[in-house]
Amino acid sequence: MQTAGALRRGLGLNRRQFLAATTGLTAAAAVAGVGPLASAAQAAGNGSNGVLVPPGKRGIILYTVRDAISRDPRSTSLPSGFRPVLEELSRIGYKQVEFAGYSQHANSEGGANLETVEGARLLRGWLDDNGLEAEGNHGFIPGSWPLTPADLDRFKLHLEIANILGFGHVGTGNDPTGSAYKADWDLAADKWNQLGLIASAAGLKLYTHNHDVAYSFLLDSGPLNAQGRPTRSSGIRRLEYFLQITDPENVWLEMDIFWAHVAQFRYRTFTAPDGSVQESIFNPLGVVQAQTTRFPLFHAKDGKYNPATGNGYDMVPFGTGDIDYTAFFSQMGAKGYHNPMYEQDNAPGNAANPGQSLQYSALSYTNMAALRG
């Protein structure tokens, strides 16, 4: 019998690529009538018991602790710069990280800019020393289309850095386009399909990320405005359309679950081609269930429901809000496939509490580890 190691070598895959290729590749079918805010009791009834986020899958995006990474280590005894912060996150218990660029304070070990091959090797050593795996980066995606030679070279440098760091994925923290119009999403899909081919050739999965507006309704029909743009919608949401027209073998998504729930709160109606107003409630969990392996990463960002705000939620440490992560993680399918990264945009504290982002990271790790189905 051929061993797993022999099979992996025969396929030309590294260990991370082999595990990704052989874990949870069967997408779950959409479950009718299951909402993203289903109760934990309902989630427990699906037969998925035990730990929902295994120890090796508990991650954090370093944007959450950007204040600690960017502060001057000579000004404080708190962890500052990449190396001490990675050490602290490992001590807390995290096993995965997602980068948000490669810059730190100039007085930190290695200097200010680690967006180089040499900087990547330094970072990889610190990751390995602390038992951490890096899964991706919110980094450079070319804005030009068609690609300029300079943009292509920089993109390829980012792929080289990603492979040095051991990523399985490479991506961005931005939506593919901020436009509401179908024609612009068609252009974005053309670009992402091409970039995805380049990333796949380097052994990486290219992913985009959502904010709430990416799940608002696409303007694709109805009367045209003075600029010749459509003014009404067929009811499809922007990023769902993007999923339909991009290659599932080369383009993936990282759902920010908080912003998806903000979209559920904000974008509930659209104006149909006939001028009528139609209601359509967004279901983040249902979108994932329908093609769960298109979402290899998540931002596990929590929110406390507050309809008095424009977003409907206040951002809080993971496990202290009202987004039902027990239901989400137990019902999304492809158990063991996904990589949830704790994120909290407002985690950094002020001068009175400079350690807040790492304190919130510890609290959020504890709550993520406690999730049971």
The confidence score (pLDDT) of residue 178 equals: 96
Is residue 188's pLDDT more than 90?
Answer: yes
Q: Mean pLDDT over residues 43-68, rounded?
A: 82
Task: Evaluate if residue 202 carries a pLDDT over 90.
Answer: yes
Q: Give percent of the chain above pLDDT 70.
A: 87
pLDDT at 23 over 50: no
Separation between Cα atoms, residue 234 and residue 83, nearest integer Å: 50
Report the percentage of the chain scoring pLDDT > 90: 86
Q: Residue 112 class from Cβ within 10 Å (0-12 exposed, 13-18 middle, 19+ buried)?
A: middle
pLDDT at 299 over 60: yes
Q: What pLDDT does residue 291 have?
A: 97
Number of C-beta neighbours around residue 49 at 10 A = 10
Between the CA of residue 204 and those of 241, 252, 330, what are the distances in Å?
A: 23, 11, 27
What value does the mean pLDDT of the chain take?
89
Tell me: pLDDT of 43 over 70: no
When computed from its CA atoms, the radius of gyration of the chain, rounded to whole angstroms, is: 21
Domain spanning 24-369: CATH superfamily: Divalent-metal-dependent TIM barrel enzymes (3.20.20.150)
pLDDT band at residue 49, thresholds of 50, 70 and 90? Answer: low
Question: How far is it, in rounded angstroms, from Cα 46 to Cα 247?
Answer: 31
Q: What residues contact 6, with CB distance under 8 A and at least 6 apart?
A: none
Position 144 confidence tier, pLDDT thresholds 50, 70, 90: confident
> Do the Cβ atoms of 104 and 141 come closer than 8 Å?
no
pLDDT band at 25 (very low <50, low <70, confident <90, very high): very low
Provide mean pLDDT across the span 44-57.
Answer: 73
| Domain chopping of the chain, boundaries | 24-369
